[in-house]
Amino acid sequence: MNKTFRPPDRNGVGPSKVALPAGTWHTVFDFLVHHFPTIPADEWQVRMLRGEVIDQAGQVVRPDTAYQPNSLLFYYRDLPDEPRIPFDEVVLYQDDYLVVADKPHFLPVTPAGRYLQETLLVRLKRKLGIDTLAPMHRIDKDTAGLVLFTIQPATRNLYQMLFRERSVSKVYEAIAPWRDDRHLPTVYRSRLAESDAFMQMQEVAGEPNAETSIALLETRGELARYQLHPVSGQKHQLRVHMASLGMPILNDRIYPTLLPDDADNPD
């Protein structure tokens, strides 16, 4: 079995890939313009001329390269106007297999939407010079905390399996309104499902699939500091459960109301 080709990272950013289906496009350029309607045609021309579009054999694709269906194409994203997020990550531990980083607020873990260079993964690749870094888990862009990365591809699945099987316990702290009518500590359970609203999850009837332990750490006026322990790992679980209890996390831009600044960032 042949090893799958993957172009190297450029400036800490790995390539994206797209499969080329059966079709009537004459050139790869024609397909890309059709497949990515929000990207101007002249931008694809510039990327191709810079050698930023590569086929599965490792050859640079030019604007006049003939279309070959049932193959793979790699391309590099570019966000020239990406603003810097003014908070820095800190590497707390590193060995031959693992990197542990303290992620600041507002920094996404991986590239998505309008974030590319300003992500924890890309920053660490550039800082440490390790192109094989991969996160074992994710935390939301607005959440600060520890993120673990694997270095060796051969052992990556073993570490990620610890998170998939819930062998690793996560504990969070959050600031939210103080409710003297809530009896804490408590365990809150509900069933979460995707909602029709973009990005948001919703609670629905049925067997619970999300469970969160909630404890009070301290109160300060109308606010309180809570300890949150997600027993399960549903999307946006902590946000939804706190909002459902009438204690939405302070400055949460998704719950209870989705604010437009996060509309293109599903991290």
pLDDT tens digits for range 15-46 = 899 999 999 999 999 999 999 998 899 999 99
Domain ranges of the chain: 16-75, 90-164, 172-260
204 by DSSP, 3-state: which?
strand
Quick one: pLDDT at residue 229? 96
Alpha helices, DSSP H only, in the chain?
28-35, 41-49, 120-128, 153-164, 237-244
Q: How far apart are the first and last CA of the chain?
A: 35
Contacts of residue 151, defined as CB under 8 A and 6 or more positions apart, other chains included, come to: 96, 97, 98, 99, 130, 132, 133
**pLDDT tier for residue 4 given thresholds of 50, 70 and 90:** low
- pTM of the predicted model, to two decimals? 0.79
- Is-cis flag, bond preceding 256, omega within 30? yes
CATH topology of domain 90-164: Alpha-Beta Plaits (3.30.70)
For residues 139 and 145, the answer to whether their CB atoms sit within 8 Å is yes
Arithmetic mean of pLDDT, 61-87: 90
CATH 3.30.2350.10, applies to 172-260 = yes
For residues 228 and 173, the answer to whether their CB atoms sit within 8 Å is yes
CATH architecture of the domain with range 16-75: Roll (3.10)
Quick one: pLDDT at residue 94? 97
Rounded Cα distance between 42 and 213, Å, is 52
Q: Where is pLDDT greater, at 6 or 193?
A: 193
**pLDDT tier for residue 216 given thresholds of 50, 70 and 90:** very high
Q: Which of 232, 240, 236 is nearest to 207 (CA)?
A: 232
- What proportion of the chain, given as a percentage, has pLDDT over 90? 72
Cβ of 223: how many Cβ atoms within 10 Å? 14
Q: Half-sphere exposure (CA, 13 Å, Cβ side) for 105? A: 4
Quick one: pLDDT at residue 10? 85
pLDDT tens digits for range 81-127 = 788 999 999 999 999 999 999 999 999 999 887 888 899 999 999 99
Arithmetic mean of pLDDT, 160-165: 87
